[in-house]
């Protein structure tokens, strides 16, 4: 059985039916020159390459980079109570929280429970920011750091201590209105 294309087939638009003559000459030289004009104009514009890592592009304030966990400034207690809501929200399932109970001798967070283990596997994270939205205590936020390459995959599992630590200010922030 032969296949007959339906009425909705795409019309194929071909080139000019025959080459040569003045039109052919123009296509060979005129169009090429027109293309070269763009090339030469760019050459005069100067260098746009950013010399990363010596030079860095500043990020917007809302840029979603590596996460940070926060503590209260006055008491120093962790804001995170280990509720696991971030883990529930995470679409790539890269957060692991194991909670434990605060005791009078060992008070870690402001609530009854705290995160004894808090790990983010940054090699799986897609930086969607859902964890930040899910957190009822603003304990986790997305920072600006995007420089996280490492030699070892397991080094990309960030522990609570790493996430709590003040990150190195490596990423320039775009100034207001820039």
Instruction: Establish if 140 lies at the interface with another protein (CB under 8 A).
Output: no
Q: Which of 101, 138, 147, 155 binds another protein (CB under 8 A)?
A: 101
Contact between 86 and 131 under an 8 Å Cβ cutoff? The reply is yes
Closest CB to ligand SF4 among residues 86, 108? 86
Nearest distance in Å: CB 98, another protein: 8
Binding partner at 63 among another protein, ligand SF4, none, C-beta below 5 to 8 Å by kind: none
CA-CA-CA-CA torsion sign (44, 45, 46, 52): negative
Q: Which of 84, 121, 123, 141 binds another protein (CB under 8 A)?
A: 84
Closest CB to ligand SF4 among residues 134, 157? 134
Beta-carbon neighbour count of residue 149 at 10 Å? 7
Instruction: Establish if 132 lies at the interface with another protein (CB under 8 A).
Output: no
Closest CB to ligand SF4 among residues 56, 164? 164
């Amino acid at each position: 059985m032969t296949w007959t294309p339906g009425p909705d087939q795409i019309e194929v638009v071909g080139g000019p039916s025959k080459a040569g003559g003045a039109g052919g000459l123009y296509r060979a030289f005129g169009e090429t020159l027109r293309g070269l004009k763009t090339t030469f104009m760019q050459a005069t514009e100067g260098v746009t390459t950013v010399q990363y890592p010596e030079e860095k592009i500043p990020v917007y304030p809302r840029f979603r980079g590596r996460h940070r966990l926060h503590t209260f400034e006055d008491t120093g207690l962790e804001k995170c109570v280990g509720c696991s809501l971030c883990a529930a929200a995470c679409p790539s399932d890269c957060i692991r929280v194991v909670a434990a109970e605060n005791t009078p001798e060992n008070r870690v967070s402001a609530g009854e429970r705290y995160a004894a283990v808090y790990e983010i596997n940054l090699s799986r994270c897609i930086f969607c920011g859902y964890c930040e939205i899910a957190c009822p205590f603003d304990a986790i936020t997305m920072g600006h750091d995007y420089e996280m390459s490492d030699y070892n995959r397991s080094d990309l599992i960030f522990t609570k201590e790493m996430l709590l630590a003040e990150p190195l200010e490596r990423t320039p922030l775009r100034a207001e209105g820039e």
